[in-house]
Amino acid sequence: MAHGLVDVRILQREYLLAISRAVTAELDLQDVLRIILRAAVELVAGKAGMIALHHPELDSVRVAAVYGIPAQLVDHFAPLLHDIPQGDANEQEAELTRRLQLVARRSNLGFTQMVRLPMMSGGETIGLIYVFLSGTPYHLPKDAALLLSGFAEQAAIAVKNARLYEQVNKEKQRLDAIIQQNADGVMILDQSLRITVFNRALSRMVGLAPEEAIGKLHENVFTWLSLKSDMDLHEALANGWPLPGAAHLYVEGDLQRPFQEHLETADGKRVSLGITYAPLMDGDGRMTDIIANVRDLTRYREEEALQKTFISVVSHELKTPVSIIKGYAGTLRRQDANWSPEIIQDSLAVIEEEADNLTDLIDSLLEVSRLQAGTFNLEVSEDVQLNRVVENTARKFGNQSDKHTITVQFASEFPPIWGDERRLGQVLNNLLSNAIKYSPEGGEIVIRGEVHPQHVTVSVRDSGIGIPDHEQHRIFQKFSRLDNALSRKTEGTGLGLFLCKAIIEAHNGRIWFHKNPDGPGTTFTFSLPRN
């Protein structure tokens, strides 16, 4: 056997077996081509081989697999890829030989002969298999030629399958991405109500990683604490949903988040969801899957609750001063009573004070509605003298309470600040009113002003009932009042600190509090940038 050609028939079955195994094993296209190429090269005892594929979308032919050609020499084979001019067979043959000689010279691989097999699919050439031989020319035995064209056919099928598979896969990835990127929660259930798709938005809402949810039964993830709609999915299914011409099913309620290790806060354990289930039907009207769209309604519920709080707080806070004013006015107006001038004075003072309270409350409400409407604008001036604002506020409160002493300690040469003087006055007003309200036993209140290179700080320290640290962010929220004996006795809407924060932040400043390290009570501090 001059070319080391092995008995074709023995190998034949083995090669075909290996190739068909490779084609059906859903291997990577590259791997399949490599196996086919190697079989082709071995079959004719060639030295090397190459498969080039036509890429219609790029209008180019590219090398897809090589065997026995060092990577750095592959470029030298380019002349073989170019179209061969139409013409009679002998001319084409001569052209190919010329190109092979060129390639052999450049690559220095000593090839003397080339077998070139087109890969056909549906009458179209999708690629070429090249096998290179060296030594004296030899003629392919007939069955080897047949087998080779069988390989080419297999390779064509593999390429076609791989391209189809790639297309399907791309489409699937695109759909997956759409589902994953969806801002709403999306989930797909199979017929047995097992979760097969669970997107990221839903994972965040429910606090369960997609890989933990997938494979679980719907009922094991969606356990409702309370339902707002008539029935849940399982009851609806039991009642015959989906009927032909199927309508969507909407289920709304509060959910117990299934796995609480994922959650930082206790409120996070409950989430309000609205789920729309849509059945996917096959041609015979059988339901194959259910696709569910999930919305987090927690925010909406909170807003609703806030509205209710708003109405009850505001009506209470409005009613109290009005009824006090009415009471005193009515008493003073009584014809039959002969009030002493002191009583008249005291009563008028109470009326005035309550009228001021009403004005404050209305102002706060207006500020809140401006904040909500986005029409909250600062009326700034360049040179607010914070120490003066503080002294005025301190004087006003000093006159109102004899249980508290108010001390003002400001750095000398406190710089003028850019800001809205009236609103900074509101901030101090609330901090000081809180300091007094929430230290019922009285005590010292210290207001300090400090100057730093980039900013100034003002702090209000009381020795009152204190605030637990973990209330840090809650306390600055609208209508939030801590639930303690005092909050039930003292007046307040829980808007003060919310507005303080909004005002300070509108000045690019910050506000926070901490527990006094050396005694009872709290210190509230805000910082404002200089310039």
Judged by the rule CB under 6 A, the positions of this chain that interact with ligand ATP are 430, 434-435, 438, 462, 464-467, 475, 480-482, 487, 492-498, 522
When CB distances are held under 5 to 8 angstroms depending on the partner's kind, the choice from ligand ATP, Mg ion, none that residue 291 binds is none
Q: How far is the CB of 510 from ligand ATP (least distance, A)?
A: 17
When CB distances are held under 5 to 8 angstroms depending on the partner's kind, the choice from Mg ion, ligand ATP, none that residue 481 binds is ligand ATP
Q: How far apart are the first and last CA of the chain?
A: 96
Residue placing its CB nearer to Mg ion in the complex, 218 or 461: 461
When CB distances are held under 5 to 8 angstroms depending on the partner's kind, the choice from Mg ion, ligand ATP, none that residue 67 binds is none
Residue placing its CB nearer to ligand ATP in the complex, 6 or 362: 362
Residue placing its CB nearer to ligand ATP in the complex, 49 or 496: 496
* Encoded tokens for 24: 């059906």
Please state, in angstroms and as integers, the Cα–Cα distance from residue 442 to each residue in 279, 436, 439, following that order: 67, 7, 6
When CB distances are held under 5 to 8 angstroms depending on the partner's kind, the choice from Mg ion, ligand ATP, none that residue 199 binds is none
Using only C-alpha atoms, what is the Rg of the chain? 42
Residue whose entry in the numeric block shows the structure tokens 């011409």? 245
Rounded Cα gap, residues 63 and 37, in angstroms: 12
When CB distances are held under 5 to 8 angstroms depending on the partner's kind, the choice from Mg ion, ligand ATP, none that residue 327 binds is none
CA nearest neighbour of 118 among 53, 193, 211: 53
When CB distances are held under 5 to 8 angstroms depending on the partner's kind, the choice from Mg ion, ligand ATP, none that residue 207 binds is none
Residue placing its CB nearer to Mg ion in the complex, 113 or 434: 434
Q: How far is the CB of 314 from ligand ATP (least distance, A)?
A: 10
Rounded Cα gap, residues 426 and 419, in angstroms: 12
Q: How far is the CB of 493 from ligand ATP (least distance, A)?
A: 4
Q: How far is the CB of 348 from ligand ATP (least distance, A)?
A: 23
Residue placing its CB nearer to ligand ATP in the complex, 459 or 522: 522
Rounded Cα gap, residues 157 and 151, in angstroms: 10
When CB distances are held under 5 to 8 angstroms depending on the partner's kind, the choice from Mg ion, ligand ATP, none that residue 313 binds is none
DSSP for 387-421, please give it. Answer: HHHHHHHHHHHHHH-SSEEEEEEE-TTPPPEEE-H
Contact 274, 295 (CB under 8 A): yes
CA nearest neighbour of 127 among 151, 96, 111, 107: 151
Please state, in angstroms and as integers, the Cα–Cα distance from residue 482 to each residue in 309, 402, 417, 459, following that order: 14, 26, 33, 21
Residue 506 CB: number of other CB atoms within 10 A?
16
Q: How far is the CB of 489 from ligand ATP (least distance, A)?
A: 11
Binding site for Mg ion (CB under 5 A): 430, 434, 496
Residue placing its CB nearer to Mg ion in the complex, 210 or 443: 443
